[in-house]
Amino acid sequence: MISKARITAIGTYVPEKIITNHDLEKLVDTNDEWITRRTGIKERRFAKENEYTSDLSIKAIENLAERYNKTLDDVDLIIVCTLTPDYITPSVASYIQGKLGLKQAGAIDINAACAGFTYGLHLANGLITAGLHKKVIVVGAEVLSKITDFTDRTTCILFGDGAGAMLLEHDSEGSFLSSYNSSEGEKAINLYGTNISDIMFNTALLHKRQLVQNGREVYKWAVSSVPKGMQIVCQNAAFPIEKVDWFVPHSANLRMIESICERSKVPIQKTLTSLVHYGNTSAASIPLALDIGIKEGKVKDGEHILLYGFGGGLAQSGHLIKWG
């Protein structure tokens, strides 16, 4: 099916509070050299105590509208991709719809963890191309600092908070050239959050929602599975992977991304990440990284970009798009 969904705007937001590696040295047994060598991360942003995913999302959308001079009154669907919603229900998307007064917009949340944003784009592209919607906002946003276990020195160094949003509109020339999605649920135990049944039956755990990760197994899965998925995306578009102008993976860990680039034959020099200054922001990492490339003047109209999310599930989702 030929895409009829065009990406017409992007916006981002990160909280003001900066947490450096040196700050983390005061919390756990770690140091800047160890964190940088293993992850490539130098700092990350943490939301305020009373700042949540909906707050970050709204600011990213407002940034989008202001930068691209976009009117949002006729948006007919909001999709928020997050694993850290304000509440189990109502959805973050419903909060956004209400606070921004988007009267015509439906609102849903999806959770595909670090692959969330690319899954959200997949859903929006399909709905617009099928003629069911004309103007859709897709948001990837997280406040991972609120569910991070700061007694676990191997994982608490990774995560940060942030949000990114894209506007997709119906157009005869869509942005999406091909897509690929998959999941290996049998490996899901390697990356998970607090069991919802535990939260329901023990209210004390409401303040102890935490991420648990088997980093070694997630790393092995990513470096073996993601390059194969990248090839499938490009094969589906009959587009040689070596002709991709920019690769924008989920910003999980620089060492992991380097291994993925080596196995996929995509030069690291063609790769955009957001992890050095923002850490691992899960569903927000891809729009944050792409926006950095845009603001730095690297990404140009007409270029081919491979967006690729991967993480909890263990799920992966990728798109080859034509920018501009």
Return the active site residues.
114, 250, 280
Total number of residues shown for the chain: 324
Neighbours of 172 (CB within 10 A): 7
Q: What is the spatial distance between Cα 290 and Cα 94, in angstroms, rounded to a whole number?
A: 26
Q: Who's near 261: CB < 8 A, 6+ residues apart?
A: 247, 267, 268, 271
Asked if 288 contacts 86 with a C-beta cutoff of 8 angstroms, the reply is no
* Placement of tokens 């964190």 in the chain: 35
